[in-house]
């Protein structure tokens, strides 16, 4: 009988020990579903961005750059052709780069790569596109044969220059306000989290 009682006592102590160790173990099982962290897992169309000033400007820039590129491509003969080739390169490059940035922002791809300063990238693209579109449109306006395609390309070139200039102005203002500096945002978030944690500690006097 003693052997049986001792065995039962040992089993009880062992079960209690396992329960205590299991409760204090930091590696607790979880019943929460494991979500996919892949890049393609969180793709969604950001309608709010497309409705914002930057989203609308991006769409207009892509459309006008494409129209300007189509106009310059319809020119069959040119002499000299330096201005035509320069405008063709600028319009094609602006269309591709701005289109890629539009997809990145509207599909939230930029949230998957937080190490890249996307606000600065967008600012550099808009500023460079403004300068080169203005320069190429000015050169094409001075060196052309007054054909319909050349005149249309010059008109759309100056139009898209104005849109890019407005986008650059808004991007610079956003940068100066600090929203383009991730360090400022991270610091403010850290201070808010630290303040909240201090408030929780003060609300729990048993931890003092």
Residue 120, class by beta-carbon neighbours within 10 Å (0-12 exposed, 13-18 middle, 19+ buried)? Answer: middle
Question: Please, are residues 153 and 64 in contact by the beta-carbon 8 Å criterion?
Answer: no
pTM: 0.64
Taking only the tens of pLDDT, the chain with its 208 residues reads: 445 444 454 455 444 444 444 444 444 545 444 444 444 555 678 888 888 989 999 999 999 999 999 999 998 887 788 889 999 999 999 999 999 999 999 988 888 888 888 888 999 999 999 999 999 999 999 887 778 888 999 999 999 999 999 999 999 988 888 654 444 444 344 445 445 544 544 444 444 4
Q: How far apart are CA 2 and CA 6, in angstroms?
A: 6
Question: Please, are residues 58 and 95 in contact by the beta-carbon 8 Å criterion?
Answer: no
- φ/ψ bin of 146: left (φ > 0), alpha (ψ from -120 to 50), beta (otherwise): left
Query: What is the three-class DSSP state of 8?
Result: helix
Query: What is the three-class DSSP state of 13?
Result: helix
With CA atoms as reference, report the closest residue to 95 among 49, 45, 59, 56: 59
Q: How far apart are CA 106 and CA 44, in angstroms?
A: 8
């Amino acid at each position: 009988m003693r052997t049986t009682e001792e065995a039962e006592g040992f089993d009880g102590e062992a079960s209690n020990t396992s329960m205590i160790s299991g409760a204090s173990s930091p590696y607790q099982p979880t019943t929460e579903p494991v979500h996919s962290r892949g890049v393609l897992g969180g793709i969604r169309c950001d309608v709010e961005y497309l409705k914002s000033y930057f989203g609308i400007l991006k769409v207009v820039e892509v459309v006008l750059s494409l129209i300007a590129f189509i106009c310059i491509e319809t020119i069959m003969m040119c002499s000299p052709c330096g201005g035509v080739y320069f405008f063709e390169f600028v319009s094609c490059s602006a269309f591709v780069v701005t289109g890629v940035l539009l997809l990145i922002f509207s599909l939230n791809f930029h949230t998957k790569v937080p190490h890249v300063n996307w606000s600065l990238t967008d600012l550099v693209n808009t500023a460079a596109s403004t300068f080169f579109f203005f320069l190429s449109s000015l050169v094409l306006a001075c060196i052309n044969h007054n054909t319909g395609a050349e005149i249309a390309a010059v008109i759309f070139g100056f139009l898209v220059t104005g849109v890019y200039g407005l986008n650059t102005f808004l991007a610079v203002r956003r940068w100066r306000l600090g929203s383009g500096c991730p360090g400022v945002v991270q610091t403010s978030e850290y201070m808010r989290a630290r303040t909240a944690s201090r408030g929780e500690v003060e609300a729990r006097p048993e931890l003092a």
